[in-house]
């Protein structure tokens, strides 16, 4: 009696099973690799009667000697500290080293010297549709794992510190399920490298993460070293605006940043900027979006001359701005 010949449905079922097994192997591999590095945070603050609980979240171990990375909104506020709980059952006290609300990143220091640090990846290499795995502590359930894909790249997320607002650039959008408590946890690629810090739930089936890239690595380094991030400030509010036809032809691009408001007493006011001016170049670089202005507001620009090429009506102006340090 001959063996039955495999049908098309049998072959398709086998292929689907193999794909599912491969997917499962990737997700379980990432979870096993990162679980020791993802921490459950119980955040508290100093009160009249001692320390009082104020929230929870997640964090990622950066170094063996206790540095942790989390979301700023998880630990921001006076007198914050608390306990960091690991999957091996350890509980370590932590203190806040530095908080940067404008990137929604914070660095903590736990009282331990044998942590398992996560490997940081490069969000610049991500592609839409790529598999990602989120690990955190949603609703207090430690070590929870969800998986999905990168659903969009290049998103911007508003962040505020006092009266100052700026946009976090190149935020990662994913459909991996995120819930309260996931903030500060890891978003990892299929190799288990952390390519983002989960920061917000944007809607049903939609999550956002601050990318691990060159800019955020500098921010993390500054927080570890100095406890703060220094930024330059010129004192404008602005937005993108299409250039008039004659300017498009001259500049070979379509947009610039229109000055909507100039803060009284700011470097922008002292330098001669006015509302409705269109900034087309700053520091010798083309300006098309607010992001282009923000990218130049690093600590290196503080106190230095910054040439601004401006279109005012139909006139071209060259102004000199001297940014000051942004005070939160």
Residue numbers annotated as active site? 73, 104, 183
The rounded distance, in Å, linking the Cα atoms of 260 and 275 is 5
Q: Name the pairing type of β-strands 105-110 and 315-321.
A: unpaired
Largest CA distance in the chain: 95
270 in Cβ contact with 264 (< 8 Å)? no
Radius of gyration of the chain (CA): 24
The Cβ-side half-sphere exposure at 189, using a 13 Å CA radius, reads 18
What are the start-end ranges of the E strands in the chain? Answer: 38-47, 50-61, 67-70, 80-85, 91-100, 105-110, 131-136, 144-161, 164-174, 186-188, 194-203, 206-211, 232-233, 236-242, 255-262, 278-282, 285-286, 306-312, 315-321, 324-325
Q: How far is CA 115 from CA 59, 99, 118, 212, 310, in A?
A: 12, 21, 9, 20, 52
Under 8 Å between Cβ of 305 and 324: no
Please, are residues 82 and 44 in contact by the beta-carbon 8 Å criterion? yes
């Amino acid at each position: 009696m001959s063996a039955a010949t495999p049908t098309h449905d049998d072959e398709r079922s086998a292929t689907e099973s193999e794909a599912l097994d491969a997917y499962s192997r990737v997700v379980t591999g990432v979870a096993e690799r990162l679980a020791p590095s993802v921490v459950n945070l119980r955040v508290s603050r100093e009160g009249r009667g001692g320390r009082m609980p104020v929230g929870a979240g997640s964090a990622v171990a950066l170094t063996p000697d206790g540095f942790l990375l989390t979301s700023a909104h998880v630990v921001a506020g006076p007198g914050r500290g608390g306990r960091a709980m690991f999957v091996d059952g350890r509980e370590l006290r932590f203190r806040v080293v530095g908080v940067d609300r404008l990137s929604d990143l914070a660095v903590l220091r736990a009282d331990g010297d044998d942590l398992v640090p996560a490997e940081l990846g490069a969000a610049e290499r991500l592609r839409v549709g790529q598999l990602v795995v989120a690990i955190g502590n949603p609703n207090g359930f430690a070590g929870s794992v969800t998986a999905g894909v990168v659903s969009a790249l290049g998103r911007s997320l508003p962040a505020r510190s006092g009266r100052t607002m700026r946009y976090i650039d190149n935020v990662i959008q994913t459909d991996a399920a995120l819930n309260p408590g996931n903030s500060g946890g890891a978003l990892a690629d299929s190799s288990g490298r952390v390519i983002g810090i989960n920061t917000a739930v944007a809607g049903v089936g939609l999550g956002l993460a601050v990318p691990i890239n060159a800019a955020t690595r500098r921010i993390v380094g500054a927080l570890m070293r100095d406890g703060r991030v220094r930024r330059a400030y010129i004192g404008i509010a602005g937005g993108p605006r299409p250039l008039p036809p004659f300017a498009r032809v001259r500049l070979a691009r379509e947009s610039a940043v229109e000055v909507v408001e100039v803060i009284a007493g700011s470097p922008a006011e002292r330098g001669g900027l006015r509302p409705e001016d269109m900034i087309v170049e700053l520091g010798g670089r083309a300006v098309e979006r607010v992001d282009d202005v923000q990218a130049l507001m690093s600590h290196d620009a503080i106190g230095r001359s910054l040439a601004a090429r401006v279109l005012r009506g139909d006139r071209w102006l060259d102004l000199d701005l001297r940014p000051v340090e942004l005070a939160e």
